[in-house]
Amino acid sequence: MTVYKIIFSLGCGFLVVVSSLLCVEYKFFKQETAQLIKVKSDYLHYVTVLKKQSLDTLSHRDMQEAEPQFLTVNREPAYLKKSALSFARQHNLERALRKFYQEDCVVSVESASMGSCVSTAKVAARKRIVRSGSKTPTRIDSLRKLQREPLFLWPLEKSEFWLSSPFGKRRKVDGSWGFHTGIDLAAPRGTPVKAAGPGIVVQAHYTAGYGNTIVIAHNHKFRTRYAHLDKMSVRVGQHIVQGEPIGKVGATGFVRKRRGGDGSHLHFEVYVYNKQVNPFYFLV
């Protein structure tokens, strides 16, 4: 019996020692966890403040001083021409774009239709034809065919976004090459999104990949898409005027973002006969 008592006493003593060690370890890890949570909270606060400061800085910084991958967009005609030519050189479109800018253009708006850009020289030529009383339909028809396509407004205010991804080829997450069918305008979540042109809403719901997305039909030829929205404020069948608020910037659907990043941006597409084209050719 004495042996059993000794063994029992040793066992109880061992359990007491182990329990004490476990309590000490528990208190230690509890303190470490609390410190890590505090550090994480401070870090998130720091990142939030730093991001806000970065956005404020980029919104007031000149295009040439900004980092190449995050460019502040300016709507001044001289800057847009320079930016378009730079983009064209990168995508072997310089000759076509230089021809596009060779002549000054004026915007004419006809009833129940969108604005069209027509060369001032062509407008003068048309007036001469009318004055001369020429009834040759072929020349008039040819002038009409030379009218440029409708022009769209930027769907975000220029001071509230930066261009994070242009139209064209780009690398996927796995490193392979893909094709970006629109342009990405990075902006804080909740930034107002405007209709690029007048039309009718033909889609306003969640779509795989695009997330919350709105599609506006401007006429039988042109449509625009606004994807990854946080909120949508229009419904299918609603008539929209140019510049009317239609939603808020978000990060719904499949969004590429860095670890810990927000990823909020507007994916904007222009369709011509249901085929995506470069929006830069139609934005003003």
Q: Amino acid identity, residue 80?
A: L
pLDDT of residue 228: 95
pLDDT of residue 225: 97
- Superfamily of 153-281 according to CATH: Glucose Permease (Domain IIA) (2.70.70.10)
Q: Where are the domains of the chain?
A: 1-60, 63-103, 104-145, 153-281
Q: Is this structure's pTM higher than 0.75?
A: no
The alpha carbon of 98 is separated from its chain's Cα centroid by a whole number of angstroms, namely 26
Written as tens digits, the pLDDT of the chain (284 aa) is: 677 777 777 777 778 887 888 888 888 888 878 777 777 777 676 666 666 665 555 555 544 444 444 444 555 667 766 777 777 777 776 666 555 555 444 333 333 334 444 444 555 555 555 454 444 445 445 444 434 567 899 999 988 888 888 998 888 777 888 899 999 999 999 999 999 999 999 999 999 989 999 999 999 999 999 999 999 999 999 999 999 999 999 999 988 776 667 789 999 999 999 999 999 888 88
